[in-house]
C-alpha cells in the first residue's frame, strides 16, 4: 500500500507546492513591472499625439500665455478636445510654465493652480515624460466638490514648440492626463494569466521529469537495499554454516586427538585383564594406562587454555619491556645454545594491550623458532610499521631453520596441525587468536637466505 509519507509522495507534494509558490510569486513580482512598462509606453504615445495635434493646429507659446483670448482658446480646444475620445479618460489638464491650468475638459479648473505633484510638473517642464499608477483613491481635481476615483493612471507630457531661430524645440507647457486603469488592468491580467500558464506548464514538465527521475532512483535504491538485505541474510547464513563447519572440524580434531590415547587405554586394560595372574605385568600396563590418561588430560587442558584467551585485561604496556621479559622467560624455560638477539628503537613504545596475552603469543613464536633450529640464534626485532595504511608496531621473530613448505603454509594456523612429532599444533593458532583479538595480524614468510619469519603486527590504537 502506498503510504502518505512515502518519499515519492512527499517529493511530489513538496515539488508541487514549490512550483505553485514560484508561479504565484513570479506573477506578483512581475505585475508591477508590466504595469509600469505599459503606462510608460502609453505616456510616450500620448506625448507624440499631443505634440502632433498642437503642431497641426499651430499652437504657440503665446496661446498658452493669452489663453483667455478667443483665438488662443479656439486653438487650445482644437488641439486637445480629441484627447477626450481616448478610452478611460477621466481628466485632462494643460499647464502653462507658471503652473496655471490654461485648458481642461472641466472648464471650472481653468485659471486655477490645483495639483499635488509639483515635482512631476517641474520635471515635465524640463522635457521628461512621467507616468504614475495611483492604486488608491485620488481626488484628481483637488476641489472640495471633486469626488475621488478608485485608481488612476497619471501622465505628465511636455508640449514642445519649434518657434526658436535655431529650430530647436522648447517646452511651452505640460499636459496631464488622468485615465481609468480598467483597460490596463485587463491587459495586465491577461498577460499574467499567460505568464502563469507558461511558467506553470514549464514547471509541470520539470516536475514530471524530476518525479520520474526521483521515482527511478528511489525504486532502484529500494531494490538495492532489498538485494543487500537478502545478501546480508545469506552472508550471515553462510558465516553460520562456516562456523558450524569449523566447529565440526575442530570437534573432529579433538576427537582424533583423544581417540588415540583412549584406544590405547582400552587395549591396555584388556591386556591387564588377561595378565591378572602376573602382578608385575599388570603394574607395567597400568603405568601405560596412566600415561595415556595424562595425555588426554593435557589435551583437554590445552583446549581450556584456548577458551581462556577470550578473556583479556588491556592496559598501557611498555612493549620493549614486555619483549625483554618474554625472552628472559624463554631462557629460563627452554634449553638454549645461543641467547635470543633483540633489536628495538631507542624511544619508548607504549600500547594499550593485555600484556599476559601478548607475552603468550610472542613466547609461542620464539619457542617455535628455537625448536626450528636449536643450534642457531633466534632474532627478535621491534619496529614501527604500517599495515594496510594503518600505523602500528611489528614484532618480528626470525629463525635459521628450514622454513615451511607451501602445503604447510595453508595449514600453519589450523588447530592441532604440527610438523613435529611431539608438537601440540596449538602454538600458532593461539598466537593468531590473541593478535586478531587486539585488532592486529600475524604474518609468516620464508626467507630467501633460509629460515622463516613470523611477525606480529599491532595497531597503535588497539581495541579489545
Output the domain CATH number for residue 47: 3.30.450.20
The verdict on residue 2 lying in a domain is no
What integer pLDDT is reported at residue 1 of this predicted model?
41
Residue 301 sits in the same domain as residue 320: no
Tell me which of 186 and 74 has the higher pLDDT.
74
The verdict on residue 264 lying in a domain is yes
Residue 307 has pLDDT above 80, yes or no: no
Residue 266 sits in the same domain as residue 345: no
Residue 264 has pLDDT above 80, yes or no: no
Question: Is the sign of the CA dihedral 336, 341, 347, 351 positive or negative?
Answer: negative
Residue 94 has pLDDT above 70, yes or no: yes
Q: Mind listing the pLDDT tens digit for each residue in 367-398?
A: 888 888 888 888 899 999 888 888 999 999 99
Extract the C-alpha cell encoding 186.
485587463
Residue 292 sits in the same domain as residue 332: no
Given 306, 323, 354, the domain boundary residue is 306
What integer pLDDT is reported at residue 240 of this predicted model?
67
What integer pLDDT is reported at residue 336 of this predicted model?
66
User: With bands split at pLDDT 50, 70 and 90, how would you rate the model's confidence at 142?
Assistant: very low
The verdict on residue 189 lying in a domain is no
User: With bands split at pLDDT 50, 70 and 90, how would you rate the model's confidence at 302?
Assistant: low
Residue 426 sits in the same domain as residue 332: yes
The proportion of the chain whose per-residue pLDDT surpasses 90, expressed as a percent, equals 8
Q: What is the mean pLDDT of residues 174-189?
A: 82
Nearest-Å Rg of the Cα atoms of the chain is: 54
The residues, any chain, with a CB within 8 Å of residue 379's CB and separated by 6 or more, are 340, 341, 342, 343, 396, 397, 398
Q: What is the mean pLDDT of residues 31-39?
A: 80
Tell me which of 33 and 462 has the higher pLDDT.
33
Residue 345 sits in the same domain as residue 444: yes
Extract the C-alpha cell encoding 444.
609468516
CA gap 195, 72 in Å, rounded? 49
Domain that holds residue 412: 312-459
Q: What is the mean pLDDT of residues 138-165?
A: 66
What integer pLDDT is reported at residue 257 of this predicted model?
59
Tell me which of 279 and 100 has the higher pLDDT.
100
Residue 458 has pLDDT above 60, yes or no: yes
Given 306, 322, 340, the domain boundary residue is 306
Which of 27-36, 43-52, 110-119, 405-414 is predicted most confidently?
Answer: 43-52
Burial zone of 311 (CB within 10 Å; 0-12 exposed, 13-18 middle, 19+ buried): exposed
Residue 130 sits in the same domain as residue 238: no
Residue 419 has pLDDT above 80, yes or no: no
Residue 410 sits in the same domain as residue 270: no
Residue 333 sits in the same domain as residue 274: no
Residue 262 has pLDDT above 80, yes or no: no
- Check which CATH number belongs to the domain holding 363 and give it: 3.30.565.10
What integer pLDDT is reported at residue 168 of this predicted model?
59
Name the nearest CA neighbour of 461 among 350, 344, 318, 309. Answer: 350
Q: How many domains does the chain have?
A: 3
Cell 604440527: give the residue.
418
Sheet with 89-95, side-by-side order of all strands: 101-104, 89-95, 170-179, 152-161, 130-134
Are 382 and 395 in contact by the 8 Å Cβ rule? The answer is yes
23-27, 95-99, 452-456: least confidently modelled range: 23-27
Q: What is the mean pLDDT of residues 46-70?
A: 88
Residue 296 has pLDDT above 70, yes or no: yes
Region at 134 (left for phi over 0; alpha for psi -120 to 50; beta for the rest): beta
What integer pLDDT is reported at residue 144 of this predicted model?
42
Amino acid at each position: 500500500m502506498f503510504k502518505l509519507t512515502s518519499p515519492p509522495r512527499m517529493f511530489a507534494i513538496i515539488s508541487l507546492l514549490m512550483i505553485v509558490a514560484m508561479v504565484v510569486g513570479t506573477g506578483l513580482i512581475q505585475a508591477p513591472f508590466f504595469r509600469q512598462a505599459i503606462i510608460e509606453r502609453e505616456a510616450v504615445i500620448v506625448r507624440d499625439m499631443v505634440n502632433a495635434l498642437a503642431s497641426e493646429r499651430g499652437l504657440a507659446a503665446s496661446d498658452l500665455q493669452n489663453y483667455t483670448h478667443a483665438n488662443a482658446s479656439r486653438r487650445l480646444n482644437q488641439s486637445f478636445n480629441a484627447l477626450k475620445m481616448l478610452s478611460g479618460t477621466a481628466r485632462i489638464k494643460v499647464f502653462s510654465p507658471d503652473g496655471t491650468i490654461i485648458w481642461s475638459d472641466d472648464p471650472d479648473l481653468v485659471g486655477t493652480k490645483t495639483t499635488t505633484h509639483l515635482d512631476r510638473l517641474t520635471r515635465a517642464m524640463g522635457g521628461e515624460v512621467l507616468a504614475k499608477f495611483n492604486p488608491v483613491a485620488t481626488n484628481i481635481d483637488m476641489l472640495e466638490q471633486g469626488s475621488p476615483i478608485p485608481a488612476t493612471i497619471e501622465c505628465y507630457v511636455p508640449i514642445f514648440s519649434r518657434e526658436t531661430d535655431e529650430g530647436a524645440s522648447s517646452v511651452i507647457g505640460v499636459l496631464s492626463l488622468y485615465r481609468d486603469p480598467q483597460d490596463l488592468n485587463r491587459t495586465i491580467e491577461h498577460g499574467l494569466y499567460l505568464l502563469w500558464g507558461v511558467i506553470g506548464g514549464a514547471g509541470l514538465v520539470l516536475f514530471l521529469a524530476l518525479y520520474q527521475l526521483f521515482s527511478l532512483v528511489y525504486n532502484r535504491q529500494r531494490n538495492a537495499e532489498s538485494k543487500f538485505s537478502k545478501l546480508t541474510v545469506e552472508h550471515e547464513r553462510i558465516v553460520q554454516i562456516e562456523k558450524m563447519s569449523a566447529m565440526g572440524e575442530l570437534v573432529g580434531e579433538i576427537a582424533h586427538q583423544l581417540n588415540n590415547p583412549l584406544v590405547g587405554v582400552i587395549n591396555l586394560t584388556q591386556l591387564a585383564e588377561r595378565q591378572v595372574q602376573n602382578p608385575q605385568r599388570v603394574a607395567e600396563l597400568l603405568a601405560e594406562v596412566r600415561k595415556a590418561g595424562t595425555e588426554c588430560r593435557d589435551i583437554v587442558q590445552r583446549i581450556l587454555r584456548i577458551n581462556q584467551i577470550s578473556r583479556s585485561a588491556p592496559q598501557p604496556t611498555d612493549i620493549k619491556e614486555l619483549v625483554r621479559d618474554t625472552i628472559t622467560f624463554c631462557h629460563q624455560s627452554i634449553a638454549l645454545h645461543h641467547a635470543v638477539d633483540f633489536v628495538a628503537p631507542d624511544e619508548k613504545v607504549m600500547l594499550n594491550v593485555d600484556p599476559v596475552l601478548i607475552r603468550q603469543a610472542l613466547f609461542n613464536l620464539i619457542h617455535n623458532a628455537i625448536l626450528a633450529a636449536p643450534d642457531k640464534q633466534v632474532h627478535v626485532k621491534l619496529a614501527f610499521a604500517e599495515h594496510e595504511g594503518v600505523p602500528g608496531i611489528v614484532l618480528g621473530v626470525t629463525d635459521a631453520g628450514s622454513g615451511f613448505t607451501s602445503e604447510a603454509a595453508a595449514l600453519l594456523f589450523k588447530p592441532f596441525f604440527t610438523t613435529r612429532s611431539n608438537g601440540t599444533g596449538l602454538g600458532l593458532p593461539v598466537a593468531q587468536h590473541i593478535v586478531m583479538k587486539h585488532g592486529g595480524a600475524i604474518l609468516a614468510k620464508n626467507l630467501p637466505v633460509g629460515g622463516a619469519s613470523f611477525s606480529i603486527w599491532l595497531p597503535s590504537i588497539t581495541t579489545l
